[in-house]
């Protein structure tokens, strides 16, 4: 009788352990999926933020560099290529 009760108790505990294990798996998998989706969303938001910072930094630099490069090209075309001695002398001194 005691052996039967002990065996029955063992079966009940095993079933209870299986149910608890399945419940843990059933709770863990959706939470893992939610965490993965949240992490993916976080990465996208981080990427957007980084691109926003790059855009905010690069646009003013571009607005400064493009006119300066244009001015340099105009000066080069008007003075240096035509062979103005003053500019040619400055360029030679500069490159030495």
Query: Which of the four pLDDT bands, split at 50, 70 and 90, describes residue 56?
Result: confident
pLDDT of residue 59: 81
* Full domain range(s) for residue 9: 2-95
Other C-beta atoms closer than 10 Å to the C-beta of 90 total: 13
Give the pLDDT mean for 20-48. Answer: 85
In this predicted structure, the answer to whether residue 96 has a pLDDT above a threshold of 50 is no
Number of domains in the chain: 1
pLDDT of residue 91: 57
Give the model confidence (pLDDT) of 78-90 as tens digits: 776 665 566 555 5
The alpha-helical segments, DSSP class H, found in the chain are: 2-75, 85-95
Query: Which of the four pLDDT bands, split at 50, 70 and 90, describes residue 94?
Result: low
In this predicted structure, the answer to whether residue 2 has a pLDDT above a threshold of 80 is no
Joined tokens for residue 7: 């065996």
C-alpha of 6 from chain center = 58
Distance (Å, rounded) from C-alpha 75 to C-alpha 95?
17
């Amino acid at each position: 009788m005691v052996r039967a009760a002990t065996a029955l108790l063992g079966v009940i505990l095993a079933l209870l352990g299986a149910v608890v294990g399945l419940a843990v798996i059933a709770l863990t998998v959706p939470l893992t999926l939610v965490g993965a989706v949240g992490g993916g969303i976080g990465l996208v938001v981080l990427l957007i933020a980084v691109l926003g910072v790059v855009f905010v930094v690069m646009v003013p630099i571009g607005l400064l560099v493009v006119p300066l490069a244009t001015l340099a090209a105009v000066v080069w075309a008007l003075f240096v290529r035509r062979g103005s001695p003053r500019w040619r002398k400055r360029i030679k001194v500069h490159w030495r």
